Copies of this chain bind each other. A is one copy, B any other.
Amino acid sequence: MTALASSPGARDSGSSASTAAPTDLEIARAATLRPIEEIAERAGIPADALELYGRYKAKIDVARLPDADHRGHVVLVSAISPTPAGEGKSTLTVGLADALSRAGKRTMIAIREPSLGPILGMKGGATGGGRSQVLPMEDINLHFTGDFHAITAANNALCALIDNHVFQGNALQIDPRRVTFKRVMDMNDRSLRDIVIGLGGPTQGVPREAGFDITVASEVMAVFCLASSVEDLKERLGRITFGYTYDRRPLTVADLGAAGVMAMLLKDAIKPNLVQTIAGTPALVHGGPFANIAHGCNSALATTTARRLADIVVTEAGFGADLGAEKFMDIKARYADVAPSAVVLVATVRALKMHGGVPKDGLAAPDAAAVERGFANLARHLENIRKFGLEPVVAVNRFGTDTPEELDAVVRLCGSAGARVAVADVWGRGGGGDGGDDLAREVLAALEEPGTYRPLYPLEMSVEEKIATVVREVYRGAGVEFSEQARRTLAQIHENGWDRLPVCMAKTQYSFSDNPALLGAPEGFTVHVRELWPRTGAGFIVAVTGTLMTMPGLPKVPAAMRMDLDDDGQVVGLF
């Protein structure tokens, strides 16, 4: 257990600093990067498996790795139901890995690539923060090695082929009103959400309603992140249902013959990207599907590659554990050899106070009683993790404003719940410093007795039953209500033989329920499934609750407006 002395410098979140403190970009610039060949060598990656992208990034040709049977432990970092600012899960992931490296363990990170759209909008990047970042953050947060661009191109090549097929005689009898597959762009561009295309007369195409999603919402992204090999990638691409015929038969990419060209466009993207943390820990940053309409973790290939190379792989799943961890267990761990040995649940005093009923503008004031009330949220996540056969370790991501009484309350309550817990200051002191030592110790202790992963439900259950099981066992709702439209899709799912796919819940991350205002540990609520989206390529059925944004918009003053390139070619204003 860590000492509870207050750390210097208040800050707002795991990814932004007060005006006095240096920015993430400043901290990142001050770090000394090692040549990526050196990082690779220490990670056991042979030189001929390395494809350099500049000095500090490389793609790994997995086929050239030594063919070892080695499988390191997977430590999954998840979180309690988050506040809108986030609980610093990426920062904790990076910091924990640095602390494990510092403890002498052969450790590797596997996390998602950031999406450009939100970066130009308002969100911070996904490269951690403070002293726990992956570098070079400017590159990773901008085009990186071009993976998202390749995924965008593969997605949009399919769309161009679909509309061209309709235009050129429509042998497949594609119903233009029932093309479900959308174009994508890695941009926050609300005016592309609902559009009409093919206007201008008979030589310009066939008019139809359409729209763009952001690239991270593409099914190609989900496929990319679940594929275990080039062969599997092509098969999954071929299984994508892009629309329906006039007589409502589903049409796949294989029917159109487009899986080959799509896979070709992904030939380099599919290779995991190697970078390093500030402390020099190797990190695979690869893939990044949405955490609502997809499963929200880095590519399966990155995680399995990291397992081959390291003894401990620290990885992350999006949103709180009711979403991210559940999908990791019920989707990713079914399709890839990535079952976790331990789960870290990130909590903050601030979020616990919010779950304890404190309004947003009162979170700065000390309130240990609110922390105790809010613990109900964390307690439920702890119980849920155990349902997957795994023991959780709580990581309290420490902020300068946390009081010793508040931190004591969390630690004490975790103890009562029988959970390991540590307070970590990986943002301020770094996991490469001593900010993550206590957490590393607890994680290592947990790995002494690794859990035995089991999924929540068998695939043989019907889709309705699977959704009902997640709602009952994880969310603790009273029941599920399917809209008329969702019921119709359920019938279609059954008819098309898609019943055996796992479900991917698209729900607000702020509450166990589908109402973002219902904080803490609510009960007795009903979850409303508005739509079901079969994602037959990725291999899951998305259950959409509430309203869902698959193409974000820009705020009144976008972050982009402060970004610049100085005359020396240096980035300005990125975080």
A residues lining the B interface (CB < 8 Å): 51-55, 59, 63, 116, 120, 139, 142-143, 145-146, 149-150, 152-153, 156-157, 159-161, 163-164, 167-169, 183, 185-200, 203-206, 208, 229-231, 234, 257-258, 260-261, 263-268, 270, 553-556, 558, 560-561, 563-569, 571-574
Complex: A445 Cα to B52 Cα, angstroms: 42
Q: A555: which B residues are within 8 A, CB to CB?
A: 168
The answer to whether A194 and B199 have CB atoms under 8 Å apart is yes
Most B CB contacts (10 A, CB to CB) among A53, A564, A565, A574 go to A565
CB-based closest 6 A-B pairs = A260-B564, A194-B200, A191-B205, A149-B149, A160-B189, A52-B52
In terms of DSSP, what is the predominant structure of the interface of chain A?
mixed
Complex: A391 Cα to B38 Cα, angstroms: 54
Q: A143: which B residues are within 8 A, CB to CB?
A: 146, 149-150, 153, 265, 268
When all copies of this chain in the complex are counted, the total is 2
A211 CB to nearest B CB, Å: 8
Known: A54-B59, A191-B198, A194-B198. 10 other contacts (CB 8 A): A53-B54, A120-B157, A143-B153, A153-B187, A156-B187, A160-B187, A163-B191, A190-B205, A195-B197, A260-B563
The answer to whether A164 and B149 have CB atoms under 8 Å apart is no
Complex: A97 Cα to B230 Cα, angstroms: 38
With A189-B156, A204-B190, A565-B264 as contacts: A554 and B146 at CB distance below 8 Å: no
A236 CB to nearest B CB, Å: 13
With A164-B190, A196-B196 as contacts: A153 and B116 at CB distance below 8 Å: yes
Complex: A59 Cα to B54 Cα, angstroms: 8
The answer to whether A565 and B142 have CB atoms under 8 Å apart is no
With A51-B54, A195-B196, A569-B267 as contacts: A189 and B159 at CB distance below 8 Å: yes
Q: A257: which B residues are within 8 A, CB to CB?
A: 561
Complex: A307 Cα to B373 Cα, angstroms: 71
Complex: A187 Cα to B157 Cα, angstroms: 7
A260 CB to nearest B CB, Å: 3
The answer to whether B164 and A558 have CB atoms under 8 Å apart is yes
A114 CB to nearest B CB, Å: 13
Residue of B nearest to A158 (CB): B560
The answer to whether B197 and A199 have CB atoms under 8 Å apart is no
A150 CB to nearest B CB, Å: 6
The answer to whether B186 and A264 have CB atoms under 8 Å apart is no
The answer to whether A120 and B191 have CB atoms under 8 Å apart is no
Q: A51: which B residues are within 8 A, CB to CB?
A: 54-55
13 pairs across A/B with beta carbons < 8 Å?
Answer: A52-B55, A116-B153, A142-B265, A156-B187, A190-B203, A191-B208, A194-B199, A205-B553, A230-B567, A257-B561, A264-B571, A264-B574, A270-B569
